[in-house]
């Protein structure tokens, strides 16, 4: 019988939701030794990997699975991640911050405190160009929202060019060509060996000084020192970081007090058990039929 181990701080909620789905033949266990399926947080699964003799399939409840990518770890199972559920949340986050910036919401609030009728003109998204570093499931969703707001969309990918909402694609080695003329740069890159410090001083040098950078991917993509310098020197207008190299951010990290840098503490997209359960149920039926699972992560690619 397919037997599921749940490794999550929300394990009870997941169990309830999965039970509601009445999946044929599925048993639950709390003993790693008994299970062939694990659903949970990559970090918890990582620690349990050596004690899973029958492991066939891991469904991660996050998009990022870097905790399971270390080459010293076993790779003799199918790893699937949470995909197609974060785009909507990321889109709310990214466009929330872009509009916050353009509509000068903070400045209006300051004016209000001073009882000043401040009619400084707001900026608009319409007609602007957004550059997406990474155009997978989340990036594609962001591209769709950008199109709704009448924007041009540039995409930087390894090779894929499959998103219809991207107007122009760029690939290595054209990262600086990609950066030129962007009004907004958004990284949704996963943590892989190829994404380290892809957002660095050279890229900040070619971005226009009014550009806003948002990172909703992983902190490793950013050269943090170069970002602090770029903001201090006014090379870009603002940065919004949902992710950083170290989380929580160390108390003495310069990001806390860098001008025009906003932190949001990895809150942009939460894994809602309802959403993840839907993915699990979808994949479970494929699993018991011996079919190829959806949302598979490639151990070599890292995403």
Q: Is 122 in the site for a copy of itself (CB under 8 A)?
A: yes
Q: Is 106 in the site for a copy of itself (CB under 8 A)?
A: yes
Q: Is 120 in the site for a copy of itself (CB under 8 A)?
A: yes
Q: How many CB atoms lie within 10 A of CB 273?
A: 21
DSSP state of 296: B
Q: Is 274 in the site for a copy of itself (CB under 8 A)?
A: no
Strand-pair partners of 38: 5, 58
Q: To the nearest whole angstrom, how small is the minimum distance from the Cβ of residue 195 to a copy of itself?
A: 23
Q: Is 278 in the site for a copy of itself (CB under 8 A)?
A: no
Report the C-alpha gap between 247 and 67 in whole angstroms: 14
Closer residue to a copy of itself in complex, CB, 56/103: 103
Residues in binding contact with a copy of itself, number by CB under 8 A = 47
Q: To the nearest whole angstrom, how small is the minimum distance from the Cβ of residue 206 to a copy of itself?
A: 27
Q: What SS3 state is found at 127? A: coil
Q: Is 267 in the site for a copy of itself (CB under 8 A)?
A: yes
Q: Is 150 in the site for a copy of itself (CB under 8 A)?
A: yes
Measured at the CA of 133, the angle between CA 227 and CA 43, to 5 degrees, comes to 85
Task: Restricting to residues 78-97, name those near a copy of itself by CB under 8 A.
Answer: 88-89, 91-93, 95-97
Closer residue to a copy of itself in complex, CB, 156/184: 184
Q: Is 262 in the site for a copy of itself (CB under 8 A)?
A: yes
- DSSP E strands: which ranges in 20-106? 27-29, 37-40, 57-60, 78-80
Residue 79's φ and ψ, nearest 5 degrees, are -105, 125
Report the C-alpha gap between 140 and 129 in whole angstroms: 15
Q: To the nearest whole angstrom, how small is the minimum distance from the Cβ of residue 238 to a copy of itself?
A: 12
Closer residue to a copy of itself in complex, CB, 36/165: 165
Q: Is 192 in the site for a copy of itself (CB under 8 A)?
A: no
Closer residue to a copy of itself in complex, CB, 30/267: 267
Closer residue to a copy of itself in complex, CB, 122/202: 122
Q: How many CB atoms lie within 10 A of CB 54?
A: 12
Q: Is 143 in the site for a copy of itself (CB under 8 A)?
A: no
- Give me the helices (H) in the chain, please: 11-20, 42-48, 87-102, 105-113, 137-148, 175-179, 201-206, 224-232, 273-288
Task: Restricting to residues 43-82, name those near a copy of itself by CB under 8 A.
Answer: none
Contact 78, 296 (CB under 8 A): yes
**Residue 239 CB-density burial (10 A; 0-12 exposed, 13-18 middle, 19+ buried):** buried
User: What residues line the site for a copy of itself (CB under 8 A)?
Assistant: 88-89, 91-93, 95-97, 99-100, 102-106, 108-109, 111-112, 115, 117-122, 124-126, 144-145, 148-150, 247-249, 251, 256, 262-268, 270
């Amino acid at each position: 019988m397919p037997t599921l181990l749940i490794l999550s701080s929300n394990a009870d909620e997941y169990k309830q939701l999965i039970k509601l789905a009445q999946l044929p033949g599925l048993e639950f266990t709390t003993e790693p030794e008994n299970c062939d399926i694990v659903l949970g947080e990559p970090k918890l699964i990582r620690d349990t990997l050596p004690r899973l003799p029958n492991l066939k399939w891991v469904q991660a409840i996050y998009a990022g699975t870097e905790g399971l990518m270390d080459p010293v770890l076993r790779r003799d199972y199918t790893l699937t991640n949470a995909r197609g559920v974060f785009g909507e949340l990321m889109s709310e986050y990214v466009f929330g911050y872009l509009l916050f910036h353009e509509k000068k919401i903070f400045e209006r609030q300051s004016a209000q405190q001073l009882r000043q009728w401040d009619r400084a003109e707001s900026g608009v998204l319409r007609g602007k160009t957004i550059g997406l570093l990474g155009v997978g499931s989340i990036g594609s969703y962001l591209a769709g929202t950008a199109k709704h707001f009448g924007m041009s969309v540039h995409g930087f990918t390894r090779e894929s060019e499959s998103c219809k909402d991207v107007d122009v694609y760029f690939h290595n080695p054209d990262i600086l060509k990609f950066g030129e003329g962007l009004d907004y740069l958004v990284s949704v890159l996963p943590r892989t060996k190829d994404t380290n410090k892809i957002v660095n001083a050279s890229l900040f040098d070619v971005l226009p000084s009014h550009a806003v950078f948002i990172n909703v991917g992983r902190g490793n993509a950013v050269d943090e020192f170069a970002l602090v310098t770029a903001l201090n020197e006014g090379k870009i207008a603002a940065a919004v970081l949902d992710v950083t190299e170290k989380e929580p951010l160390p108390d003495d990290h310069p990001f806390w007090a860098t001008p025009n840098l906003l932190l949001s503490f990895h809150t942009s997209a939460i894994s809602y058990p309802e959403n993840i359960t839907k993915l699990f149920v979808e994949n479970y039926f494929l699993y018991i039929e011996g079919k190829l699972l959806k949302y598979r992560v490639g151990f070599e690619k890292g995403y």
